[in-house]
Amino acid sequence: MNQQSKVWVILVALWIINGSSFLAIKVSIDTIPPLLSAGIRFTISGSVLFAAYFFRREYEHEHDEIGKQQWKDTIILAAALFLGGQGLLTWGSQYLTSGMTGLLNSTIPLWVGIIAFLLYRRGMTKLTVLGLCAGFGGLMLLIGPSLGVGALSPAGVTALILSSLAWAFGSLYSSKAKLPVSILASSGMLMVSGGLMLIIASLALGEFQGLDITQISTRSLIAMIYLIIIITVVGFTDFYWLLRVTSASLANTFAYVSPVIAVILGWAILHESITVLTIVAMIIILLGVALMVTTKSGSKAKEQKVAQNKNQYIKD
């Protein structure tokens, strides 16, 4: 399988995986405190990946150097992607519907473009701007009719906006970060660091007070296991790989497609109806994603990085 084909396969897998994440998060935090729930799953997932890295390193007699700079960048990225990005998303989900959470989370590519323009002076092509507008417009068309039903929680909306900003910043910072060559090592380091940060935050906010383990439901445990195995281990590892060999905007296109996947899963599994408006919105969203995917970066530095990483990460 060539590099371009692998990128497409992982992109589609990431779209599907992330599309089911909002529902799983919502179920898991029914009886498990949100920050604790996120902290546990990332710590467990990261530990598994880190252990796999050490086993593989000893088996293949590889000895990658993990120095202070790599740990420094890991801490910064963990704070942005996990404590800020996933932590605020999970915490805000308790105040919002899964659909609204998905809508607010879908602004990530917009923030990526804006932050890249403001901080890194990266220009946006006409196709990129058109793709971003189409994707966000399609999402508004998809979920817009539900906006008038009840008042939105200010705390939930604020948490999701800050979550999207933190994730966008982390995505962009990752392109400059010095992390271990191995995807297993870098993913494991990030998840363990982020998971511990979330657990500390959970302690600081008093989530452990009054926690009764016997009251945790089977549904929440099943959702947690699904989040650990599928969403975290598989999904985030794929996402890190995409960040390294493509652009942050392309890697974050899952934010556009995941609500579409959620609608399809609802129709197939829960027998939810799909209207003409829903079909039109999905077409617009996929068109926006297609425009972003086919847009080629004009940055020579990015092209050089892709070329350098191609052979290094294809085996992972």
- Give the global pTM: 0.77
What is the per-residue pLDDT across 140-149, written as a single tens digit (0 to 9) for each? 776 666 555 5
The region, left, alpha or beta by phi > 0 then psi within -120 to 50, assigned to residue 266 is alpha
Mean pLDDT of 225-247: 83
Tell me the per-residue pLDDT of 279-305, one tens digit each, with 9 for 90 and over.
787 788 778 777 766 654 444 344 444
Distance between CA atoms of 311 and 316, rounded to whole angstroms? 10
b/e for 246-283, b at 16 or more Cβ within 10 A? Answer: bbbbbbbbbbbbbbbbbbbebeeeeeeeeeeebeebbe
pLDDT band, very low/low/confident/very high, at 306 (cuts 50, 70, 90): very low
Tokens of 291: 């425009």
CB 7 within 8 A of CB 245: yes
Greater confidence (63 vs 184) lies with 184
Task: Enumerate residues 6+ apart whose C-beta is below 8 A from 157.
Answer: 92, 96, 104
Residue 102's nearest CA partner among 277, 292, 250, 262 is 262
The tens digit of pLDDT for each residue in 194-220 reads: 999 999 999 999 998 878 888 899 999
Quote the distance between the C-alpha of residue 225 and its chain's center.
Answer: 17
- Exposure of 316 in the CB half-sphere (CA atoms within 13 A): 27
Q: The tokens of 298 are what?
A: 């004009």
